[in-house]
Structure 1
């Protein structure tokens, strides 16, 4: 257990330690907890480790949400515990300026000074320092990749309301390396439809999708989609992606389930993973792109016919059925008429057949 300042109880310190231990570097250990805290950013206490001084909260879900302030041991240039508003503040001087870790009780000043000065004068633990440098390099590299993606996103057509950074972040998580969406239909708080070259993504987050604190994100491969429908009233409508797993059963509108809770409304388009509530104006703007999606869906289901050219040195295993050129051409024409072969495939197959049988 780390050393505790006079105002911290062991039970509370155990909770803090459990919360931030996953955020520590390899070789980093907590020396002491100090009751210094502040409102903005909202920290609950300050930890002094063998590598840095940390202002943290135990409520966040990720490291960047838990560790809100930090100063590495080799960045400390001075300590200041002067009083402000009747209470001393735990301030660290750095080359980039002062970092205020918040106010705390006067009885804790000597305790905080002891551990902060020890870190300042003795430096960072070598193992923790190496791990910190590696983590910083990885963070810089990741930031570079993300920034490059953010710069390129400006070229992506967006239909509907303006996109927020957090929504772009959701899309980037579903993108392959160096992959950008083809276009985005944004219905704001209702969710988004994102088109890639081989798949669609419907992404919904928050209260409107009955996933408070979570999300509903569903991928639809073009080869699995049977149809895309849009059902509307005077102004509002619903875009629905149909697959063997998601069958359209009714005209999904906004008000049919208005008397039910989000999770109880089985036909509410806001909660259905394959539906996107969408105003008619936005649908019409995006309709040309959706027509191209329909073409990609059809192309993904088209039967591929491969014409093999037999080598002169290969002998048939047995007698082949006797058919004439006219019969074979008739078969190809029938396949073309039924849509199994498109125009280019039909021409190529016909040319190969005439060359082989001539």
Structure 2
């Protein structure tokens, strides 16, 4: 579990879900009470602004594309967004770790499935041959194709 506490909110990531928790009266009055739990599969993008002269933010885009606010108003807009948490420069390292883990999880969801190994394919062919689905000649041909000989 990776957690990052910001100003008026906290993010927690368990590998499958991001939970946004609001702390304090003002944060709960602005965004509502309770936690918001978002599955990684629902997150289409992670917007990031590092803290500098002003606070930074981590904003989750859910579903489609979001319009980016004009420069100077991005942090103010993020503070009002229920899928964002604003953080100070001191809080930034925890948010950087959470961001990296979250982006890796999103990328893993879109990675191609690993190809079956040659040994796995040979085992499947042998089973089909044994069950009589493949003739001796078909088995030999497919085996040569897999082995590249």
Could you say which TM-score interval applies, normalised by the shorter chain?
A: 0.5 to 0.7
Q: Which has the larger radius of gyration?
A: 1
**Does the C-alpha gap of structure 1 residues 289 and 276 become closer, same or farther in structure 2, counting only changes over 3 Å?**
closer
Tell me the equivalent position of 2:86.
277
**Does the C-alpha gap of structure 1 residues 280 and 192 become closer, same or farther in structure 2, counting only changes over 3 Å?**
same
**Does the C-alpha gap of structure 1 residues 298 and 305 become closer, same or farther in structure 2, counting only changes over 3 Å?**
same
Tell me the equivalent position of 1:192.
10
Give yes or no for contact 1:230–1:239 (8 Å, CA) kept in 2: yes
> 109, 112, 126: which is aligned to 1:303?
112
Give yes or no for contact 1:237–1:277 (8 Å, CA) kept in 2: yes
Tell me the equivalent position of 1:264.
none
**Does the C-alpha gap of structure 1 residues 220 and 248 become closer, same or farther in structure 2, counting only changes over 3 Å?**
same
Partner Cα separation in structure 2 for residue 203 and residue 242 of structure 1: 17
**Does the C-alpha gap of structure 1 residues 288 and 185 become closer, same or farther in structure 2, counting only changes over 3 Å?**
closer
Partner Cα separation in structure 1 for residue 132 and residue 37 of structure 2: 46
Give yes or no for contact 1:216–1:273 (8 Å, CA) kept in 2: no
Please provide the CA RMSD for this pair. Answer: 3.1
Whether 1:219 aligns to 2:37 is: yes
Give yes or no for contact 2:13–2:98 (8 Å, CA) kept in 1: no
Structure 2: tracts of 5 or more residues without a match: none
Partner SS state of residue 295, structure 1:
helix
Residue 194 of structure 1 and its aligned partner are, at CA, apart by 0.6
Deviations 1:166-203 (A, max 9, x none): xxxxxxxxxxxxxxxx1211114x11101112111112
Partner SS state of residue 304, structure 1:
coil
Whether 1:244 aligns to 2:63 is: yes
Tell me the equivalent position of 1:31.
none
Partner Cα separation in structure 2 for residue 298 and residue 201 of structure 1: 19
Residue 209 of structure 1 and its aligned partner are, at CA, apart by 4.3
Partner SS state of residue 250, structure 1:
coil
Residue 275 of structure 1 and its aligned partner are, at CA, apart by 0.7
Residue 236 of structure 1 and its aligned partner are, at CA, apart by 0.6
Partner Cα separation in structure 2 for residue 315 and residue 306 of structure 1: 23
Partner SS state of residue 33, structure 2:
strand
Correspondence list, 1:18-57, <5 A? none
Partner Cα separation in structure 2 for residue 295 and residue 276 of structure 1: 19
Give yes or no for contact 1:228–1:294 (8 Å, CA) kept in 2: yes
Partner Cα separation in structure 2 for residue 250 and residue 226 of structure 1: 14
Higher relative CO (CA 8 A, sep ≥ 6), structure 1 or 2?
2
Correspondence list, 1:21-170, <5 A? none
Aligned length: 128
Residue 239 of structure 1 and its aligned partner are, at CA, apart by 0.8
Partner Cα separation in structure 2 for residue 222 and residue 238 of structure 1: 18
Partner Cα separation in structure 2 for residue 194 and residue 288 of structure 1: 11
